[in-house]
Amino acid sequence: MSEQISIIVPSYNEQESLPYLYRALQKEAEEFRKLDVEFEIIFVDDGSKDNTLKLIKELAERDSRVHYLSFSRNFGKEAAIYAGLKNCSGDYAVLMDADLQDPPEYLMEMYLAIRDEGYDSVATRRVTRKGEPAIRSFFARCFYRLMKRISDTDMVDGARDYRLMKRSMVDAILSLPEYNRFTKGIFGWVGFRTKWIEYENVERVAGETKWSFWGLFRYSLEGIIAFSTFPLALASWMGVLLCIVAAAAIVFIVVRAALFGDPTAGWPSLACIIIFIGGVQLLCIGVLGQYVSKTYLETKRRPLYICRETNIEAKQKKDD
Ligand code: UDP
Ligand code: MG
């Protein structure tokens, strides 16, 4: 019996790159057909404001392997990935960006690694960050180094979301019900045998990146809060440290007063200490607040996305 690979493409304002992607996928599909493997392409339109949806619909009309889901607004790539995985029906699923930064040429190598070498998933990482602003690469490296220290979950520097996985891993990922989804962490958390393929960074074929520097910065904080509780512990450790410092200072002051008397002086240093401790306290409350706010969002149990239209009828109904 033939096998099926679901290709999930989150697309947000990608009208320029989609035609290139579709052409490249068609070429790959021919190769795969020789192995009796069929493609299913699921475009997840993440509330695009350009002609992305129109383009996808045209493709779907011509090609029955093309499926789509269109969100009611922009819910973010994480939500698009979730929606794609939830609505795919293949024996395998692969996540792929619309801009050809995840070269479809690697699909065959990835598939063969799972079929012949016994892996559950094949992931990719880029070994260079060519074409990216230097400051962005620098902070990305810092982020991964930090995560390695403060989180138990494996996160690989340069890892892309481009990944082929077996059904069992897809189901595992879907079984994590969290609202704040940081997919890179979730992949590591669910485990499974993963092979890594490395390649040089490819620049996007058309259109422009959706990530601003601050967008990425906020996303990295999300990752830290979702996959590490170390910042919470940090407050306690700082508290312990400050208690020790305070105890030492008390001993010092008592001894000094006993030996030399107690002339009243030193209010500027006192002011500095109060401001410093106040700052540390506010910082710790802020950290706590971040975790509380995430918990708040989790408890609301809002859906991760709202679908405006789709041509994946059967599946949608089954889920409801
Ligand atoms: N994307 C999305 N929703 C968003 C932002 C991005 O679905 O809110 C998609 C986008 O269309 C692309 C992929 O996520 O297919 C990666 O985005 P992009 O290429 O802008 O990110 P970069 O490669 O620069 O990190
Ligand atoms: Mg890109």
Identify any residues that bridge with 39 across adjacent strands, giving them in sequence order. 5
* Angle ∠(313,318,320) on CA atoms, nearest 5: 100
**Separation between Cα atoms, residue 191 and residue 119, nearest integer Å:** 12
pTM for the full predicted model: 0.79
State whether the beta carbon of 211 lies less than 6 angstroms from ligand 1: yes
State whether the beta carbon of 77 lies less than 6 angstroms from ligand 1: yes
Q: Band of the pLDDT at 318, cuts 50, 70, 90?
A: very low
Measured by CA distance, the residue closest to atom 19 of ligand 1 is 209
Does 282 have pLDDT greater than 90? no
State whether the beta carbon of 228 lies less than 6 angstroms from ligand 1: no
Q: Band of the pLDDT at 219, cuts 50, 70, 90?
A: confident
Q: How many C-beta atoms surround the C-beta of residue 104 within 10 A?
A: 20
Q: Per-residue pLDDT tens for 56-72?
A: 999 998 988 899 999 99
CA of 1 to the centre of ligand 1 (A): 35
CA of 211 to the centre of ligand 1 (A): 7
Among all chains, which residue has been given the structure tokens 């790959």? 28
Q: How many C-beta atoms surround the C-beta of residue 122 within 10 A?
A: 26
State whether the beta carbon of 170 lies less than 6 angstroms from ligand 1: no
CA of 220 to the centre of ligand 1 (A): 15
Query: Lowest-pLDDT range, 12-16, 77-81, 231-235?
Result: 231-235
What residue type is 169 in one-letter code? M
Does 315 have pLDDT greater than 70? no
Ligand nearest the Cα atom of residue 49: 1
Q: What is the mean pLDDT of residues 181-191?
A: 86
Q: Band of the pLDDT at 314, cuts 50, 70, 90?
A: low
Does 310 have pLDDT greater than 50? yes
- Report residue 125: phi and psi, to 5°: -135, 145
- Report residue 229: phi and psi, to 5°: -105, 10
State whether the beta carbon of 167 lies less than 6 angstroms from ligand 1: no
User: Residue 106 in contact with residue 124, Cβ under 8 Å?
Assistant: yes
**Separation between Cα atoms, residue 151 and residue 51, nearest integer Å:** 41
Q: CB-based burial of residue 154 (10 Å sphere; 0-12 exposed, 13-18 middle, 19+ buried)?
A: middle
Measured by CA distance, the residue closest to atom 24 of ligand 1 is 209
CA of 77 to the centre of ligand 1 (A): 6
**Separation between Cα atoms, residue 59 and residue 62, nearest integer Å:** 5
pLDDT at site 258? 85
Ligand nearest the Cα atom of residue 305: 1
For strands 3-11 and 92-95, give the pairing: parallel
Query: Lowest-pLDDT range, 9-23, 48-62, 118-132, 202-216?
Result: 202-216
Measured by CA distance, the residue closest to atom 21 of ligand 1 is 209
Tokens of 113: 């690694």
Reference 60, options 9, 96, 105, 104; nearest CA is 9
State whether the beta carbon of 180 lies less than 6 angstroms from ligand 1: no
* Angle ∠(320,85,227) on CA atoms, nearest 5: 105
**Separation between Cα atoms, residue 144 and residue 156, nearest integer Å:** 7
Rg from Cα positions in the chain: 25
For strands 307-310 and 66-71, give the pairing: antiparallel
Which residues have CB less than 5 Å away from ligand 2 (the ion)? 97, 99, 101, 204
Measured by CA distance, the residue closest to atom 18 of ligand 1 is 209
pLDDT at site 201? 79
Does 184 have pLDDT greater than 80? yes
Q: CB-based burial of residue 47 (10 Å sphere; 0-12 exposed, 13-18 middle, 19+ buried)?
A: buried
Q: What is the mean pLDDT of residues 229-255?
A: 85
* Angle ∠(46,178,237) on CA atoms, nearest 5: 120
Q: How far is CA 306 from the centre of its chain?
A: 20
State whether the beta carbon of 120 lies less than 6 angstroms from ligand 1: no
Q: Per-residue pLDDT tens for 13-70?
A: 998 899 999 999 999 898 888 888 889 999 999 999 989 999 999 999 898 889 999 9
State whether the beta carbon of 48 lies less than 6 angstroms from ligand 1: no
Identify any residues that bridge with 93 across adjacent strands, giving them in sequence order. 6, 165
User: Residue 115 in contact with residue 26, Cβ under 8 Å?
Assistant: no
pLDDT at site 136? 81
Reference 77, options 312, 319, 305; nearest CA is 305
Which of 73, 81, 99, when mutated, tests ligand 1's pocket best, judged by the most ligand atoms within 8 Å of its CB?
Answer: 99
State whether the beta carbon of 97 lies less than 6 angstroms from ligand 1: yes
Q: How far is CA 17 from the centre of its chain?
A: 22
Ligand nearest the Cα atom of residue 11: 1
